[in-house]
Amino acid sequence: MNKRLTVKDLQDLKGKKQLVLITVKNAEEAMAAEKVGIEMIGTGSPGKYKNPDNHQNFDELIKIREAAPSAFMHYGASDTLYSNSYEACKLALKVLEFGFDMFYCHRSIDIIKSLSKEGIPVLGHVGLIPGRTTWTGGYKAVGKTAKEAAILYDKCLELEDAGVVAIEMECVPHKVASAISERIKPTVLSLGSGSGCDVQYLFACDILLTTSGHVPKHSKSYRNFLIEFERLQVEREKAFEEFYNDVQNGSFPEKKHIIEIEEPELENFLNSLKKRKML
């Protein structure tokens, strides 16, 4: 078993070693990441009202945590699970008690400060933030102009001052991301922001291609599980059809599938049935 990273380790490794982070959605993916030595694992949570990304409920997230005991794991809380600093701290302390190492939060600086004040490791988010795309003009890269890049840097400094231990930097030009990463203290997680950051970050569903639809440009698929799922569905249908046909033609059940009774016991039972019928 690999040594589980700590916040201190993240700080000490900044600029010295590239770490790897995968966001998973089930315990099987977590176990696979654990087995190959992935240092960091991310999780997400359903919203209070919707779950468009098919994240697991809290009980399943606990199974994910238990499936990868050596990974530094963050909990990605949906915005609707807390509305103020008190609720955010309450939720974050709960997940820390269940063994998570860091709490993802892209809410207000005041909320982030309150979490940090309580000693809760916080992961912030800059660049393309899916829940904030209306402010950046949709799903597109952020920081492609000098003005945008400067705003991005100022936001990172604001998060640093608020006490975050790490910042997810999504879809930022790699030279901008590199320049910012080397100038700030928090660990920078690159999601489509190049190799100049501290951590390379992808989603398991993109690596394995387990969902249909758009695969982000910054991602890379190493397997195509959708094809495998289709093959398995065909095999399911064939297996069910073969079972049905075996029943119809009398070839199931075979002798090995049934339980016998000794002839004297069977005769006694059948005689008892005759007597009952006569009564």
Residue whose C-alpha is closest to residue 19's, from 43, 44, 37: 37
Question: Is the Cβ–Cβ distance between 173 and 197 less than 8 Å?
Answer: no
Q: Which of 29, 34, 39, 170 is catalytic?
A: 170
Q: What is the C-alpha separation between 143 and 113, in angstroms, rounded?
A: 25
CB-count burial class (<10 Å; 0-12, 13-18, 19+) for 213:
exposed
Residue for token digits 């997230």?
A: 61
Identify the residue whose tokens are 């939060």: 105
Strands (E), the chain: 19-23, 40-44, 72-76, 102-104, 122-127, 166-170, 187-191, 199-203
Instruction: State how far the alpha carbon of 149 is from the alpha carbons of 106, 143, 145, 189, in Å.
Output: 18, 4, 6, 17
Retrieve residue 55's tokens.
């994240």
Q: Which residues of 69-104 are buried (b: 16+ CB within 10 A; e: fewer)?
A: ebbbbbbbbbeeebeebeebbebbeebbeeebbbbb
Tell me the backbone φ, ψ of residue 40, rounded to 5 degrees. Answer: -130, 140
Amino acid at 166: A
Q: Is 241 annotated in the active site?
A: no
Could you tell me how many helices (H) and strands (E) the chain has, helices first? Answer: 10, 8
Annotated catalytic residues are 170
